[in-house]
Structure 1
Amino acid sequence: MVELSEKMTTTEQAERGTSSIQLGILLAGVACLLAAPMFFYPIFLMKLLCFALFACAFNLLLGYTGLLSFGHATFFGGAAYFTAHAVKEWGLNPELGILVGVLGAAALGLVVGFVAIRRQGIYFAMITLALGQMFYFFCLQAGFTHGEDGIQSVPRGHLFGFIDLSVTSNMYYFVLAVFIIGMAVIWRFINSPFGMILKSIRENEARATSLGYSVAHYKLGAFVMSAALAGLAGGVKTLVFQFATLTDVGWQMSGEVILMTLLGGIGTLIGPIFGAGLVVTLQNYLATSDFPVTIITGVVFMVCVLLFRRGIVGEFYASRIGKKLGF
């Protein structure tokens, strides 16, 4: 018993050390991002930040709750359409347009989650995929989405009425601020008592139920939160590129965010950021080459699956914990 207690204490210390490493990396990353526009193309950086937030929102569901959704593009792309329509047709300010997108994504998450959480495992994944495809065809036929043309020429507008987001530097630091706020919300969520219960559900759902927790309610709450944050990323992405198209709601987008999360490491705070950066960078710098980007991405994914079963960042954390435990 004494040895077990000592082992548990060492494990807790190792996990706290890992959390400190994550926080240190995040702070260093923010410092680098503040200066990044001087060295990299701002549009590329803004795309990376949007998809990093999207991947972190998805990881909130998969990594911390254990639910694999194949339809998360519904919330990302749905918010993109809602924001684009609100800003362009209703003339709302960008912050209000993004709020409309987030609320719309949360509402979609509530509906989809209410239906999907009634099943587990592959059945849950298939239901989210089916509902995602239903929403895709809705966007194809709905009048406000303009079908295959999408909503184009979306104005960026003035943030709070006086900050001109058509200026690239203003837009970049706005996207960075949204990303930091989103990550702060995720960090607080997973480190709250609610987040602890989600982790227990992921590890042993039957035991969490036996302890008296309403598992369905907690799953639904996590699903809605994940959908809202994915919507935040989608709404901001619409203002960056000034359009919303069917690509944002297609099943391929759901596949991409799964790939990003797995590459970086599920259940880690910064793993999805790393994975999103890797995928977006490959797409950006290999887009003009003759070699198909999808093949390169597939090879990278295969190597990571074979060599880094927990993802790149996940394996790094595991090795740190292993060393502290003496393995």
Structure 2
Amino acid sequence: MNTVFGKTGAAYLAGVVLLLLAPLAIYPVLVMKVLCFALFACAFNLLLGYTGLLSFGHAAFLGSAAYLTGHALKVWEVPTLVGLLLGTAGAAALGWVVGSLAIRRQGIYFTMTTLALAQMVYFVFIRSSFTGGEDGLQDVPRGSLFGIDLSDDTNLYYLVVAIFCGAFWLIRRIIDSPFGQILKAIRENEPRTISLGYDVARYKLLAFVLSAALAGLAGATKTLVFTFATLTDAHWHASGEVVLMTLVGGVGTVLGPLVGATVIVALQNLLADKVGSLVTVIMGVIFVLCVLAFRRGVVGESIALYRRMIGEKP
């Protein structure tokens, strides 16, 4: 990574500065929406891009954390920080349950197991009174944090930036750690990793729980931003969108999910008023093009192009 982008620390610092200055030129709520989905995509990429596990049920963790945080803030009237932590912890617990069942299968069977379990969670949300059913949880209070009023979009924006940067740093640390190297080994050659004496099932489960917790943090933050949680957060469409974001940005790249989330959210907001329901069709076309022509995604193809320019093997 250093050979491609030079001093990555400076690049990340520049990115943080841009995020801090973004509200001067862009509507803060839009940027917060991008950051929430970018965190969701980064969490998913930790599982798919670095462990090789394709989950099609990650919306269950996004939605469960969104509902739990919303209910805690609105009904239990807990402090904002406690609500965020409860949502993240709830998603991690659900991730442990789902992961314990799903990792017993491999390939398409793992994917379909996560989808089936996520749909079960979705139907529980429809029938439960604490979620508000099809109406969802409305008017969730943002509260305050350390005396700072979060009802102001600007104040909330910098909290969301801090949450995203902290989670992004954690994901990067996980990837570069010995644990992350074992995850990559599992992705590349699971039988050989087993032969080296590693408990692959335990590492897969831990990666699944970490991914679920981070996805839950994204869902909890999203509830804080929009002050509501609905069934859309837990629907399988959300699971499909995060797959699309990761593929567009670049599976297995650090910055890919952030780029993919930015592209997809920006397109959805730009095209929603112009083409209406055809947005779904356009997203499908983009997905097909990425699979057929740009399999490395935007970031992956950029890295490959740069390496060819300097004479390295992509």
TM-score (norm 1): 0.92
Residue of structure 1 equivalent to 2:284 = 298
Identity, in percent, stands at 60
Q: Aligned pair 1:223/2:208, yes or no?
A: yes
Question: Shift of residue 23 of structure 1?
Answer: 4.5
Q: Aligned pair 1:269/2:254, yes or no?
A: yes
Question: Shift of residue 287 of structure 1?
Answer: 1.4
Which structure has the larger Rg? 1
1:20/1:230 CA distance change after superposition, 3 Å: farther
Residue of structure 1 equivalent to 2:117 = 131
Residues 26 and 270, structure 1, Cα contact 8 Å, conserved in 2: no
Residue of structure 1 equivalent to 2:221 = 236
| Distance in 2 between residues matched to 1:37 and 1:154, nearest whole Å | 23
Q: Which moved more, 1:147-156 or 1:281-290?
A: 281-290
Could you tell me which of 276, 279, 292 is aligned with 2:264?
Answer: 279
1:73/1:281 CA distance change after superposition, 3 Å: same
List alignment gaps of at least 5 residues for structure 1. 1-14
| Distance in 2 between residues matched to 1:325 and 1:218, nearest whole Å | 36
> Structure 1, residues 180-227: CA drift from partner, whole Å, max 9, x if none?
001011001111110000000000000000000000000000000000
Q: Which moved more, 1:110-119 or 1:30-39?
A: 30-39
Residue of structure 1 equivalent to 2:143 = 157
| Distance in 2 between residues matched to 1:302 and 1:92, nearest whole Å | 44
| Distance in 1 between residues matched to 2:40 and 2:5, nearest whole Å | 21
Residue of structure 2 equivalent to 1:33 = 19
Matched letter for residue 44 of structure 2: F
> Structure 1, residues 235-278: CA drift from partner, whole Å, max 9, x if none?
00001000011000000000000000000000001001000000
| Distance in 1 between residues matched to 2:153 and 2:201, nearest whole Å | 44
Could you tell me which of 110, 130, 133 is aligned with 1:147?
Answer: 133
Q: Number of matched residues?
A: 312
Matched letter for residue 74 of structure 1: A
Residues 22 and 269, structure 1, Cα contact 8 Å, conserved in 2: no
1:83-98 alignment, distance < 5 Å: 83-98=69-84
> RMSD value over aligned CA atoms?
1.4
Residues 157 and 165, structure 1, Cα contact 8 Å, conserved in 2: yes
Q: Aligned pair 1:108/2:90, yes or no?
A: no
| Distance in 1 between residues matched to 2:162 and 2:51, nearest whole Å | 26
List alignment gaps of at least 5 residues for structure 2. none
| Distance in 1 between residues matched to 2:214 and 2:115, nearest whole Å | 19
